[in-house]
Amino acid sequence: MLFERASAPYRAAGKFAFHFARGKLRGDPAFLALLQQGWLAHSRRVLDLGCGQGLLFAWLLAARDCHDAGEWPAGWPPPPRFESLVGIERMGADTRRAREAVGDAARFVEGDLREVALGTADAVVMLDVLHYLEPQAQVDLLARVRAALLPGGVFLLRVGDAAGGIGFRVSQWVDRLVLAVRGHRAPRLHWRSAREWQMVLASQGFRSEAHPLSQGTPFANVLLVARAT
């Protein structure tokens, strides 16, 4: 089973890492959507910005193994085959957990997204990260993502929609709660509406489509699927 394959490696990273992985992989609709919609189907070099403890890569590697074992759901596009998986994460504890769980199948870099070299990729993923940066830093990072993206590549950006009413307020509250539980000081957060996020993307050379991504949750999350113009 995909969920079990993806979460099992986190036993080696400790109880917190394991239970967090199970809760996140089971409850977050982004992971299933990435596979069912085939947004990464043709990607070979994937860069995950703000990768946390590496859940995305554990999920994608488990998907590959499930497919090879004949356990792939009928009707789903085949999972991608990767040449390079690179995650960047500021929190050292998360980076350590990612390395302990995923091992040599991916490379994890500890550092600040505003400073670390991004290299190149044909898929860049950033889930629930951009609002931690100040507005100008958001724009600067998007420009760097545009420069790092290879021709024909895709940028998958999940954001909270500040125009999302009560769902957005729930998102804000949960975001701060998770930071507190994980021992992180809550920074000032900088949100925008989904439309405003799309306008910022357009200013940096992207065209994007917005896909609601809160199914089964009380949040107001949107996945922006962006490609270079």
80-114 pLDDT, tens digit per residue, is 999 999 999 999 999 999 999 999 999 999 999 99
CA distance 121 to 123: 5
Each residue's pLDDT tens digit, 124-161: 999 999 999 999 999 999 999 999 999 999 999 999 98
CA distance 219 to 34: 18
Angle between helices 92-102 and 55-68 (to 10 degrees): 10
Q: Indicate whether 40 pLDDT > 80.
A: yes
**DSSP category for residue 132:** G
For residue 71, what are the CA distances in angstroms to 74, 134, 177, 188?
9, 43, 36, 44
pLDDT band at 163 (very low <50, low <70, confident <90, very high): confident
Which CATH number does the domain housing residue 13 bear? Answer: 3.40.50.150
For residue 185, what are the CA distances in angstroms to 92, 95, 166, 177, 207?
15, 18, 24, 10, 34
Count: domains in the chain? 1
Cα angle: 31, vertex 37, 41; to 5 degrees: 90
Q: H or E segment at 229?
A: none
Give the pLDDT confidence score for residue 164 in this predicted structure: 77
Q: Indicate whether 167 pLDDT > 90.
A: no
Phi, psi of 51 (to 5 degrees): -75, -10
Q: Indicate whether 185 pLDDT > 70.
A: no
- Domain range enclosing 90: 2-228
**Nearest Cα to Cα of residue 16 among 93, 106, 127:** 93
Number of H helices, E strands in the chain: 8, 7
Which residue shows structure tokens 């991504």? Answer: 213
Phi, psi of 87 (to 5 degrees): -120, 140
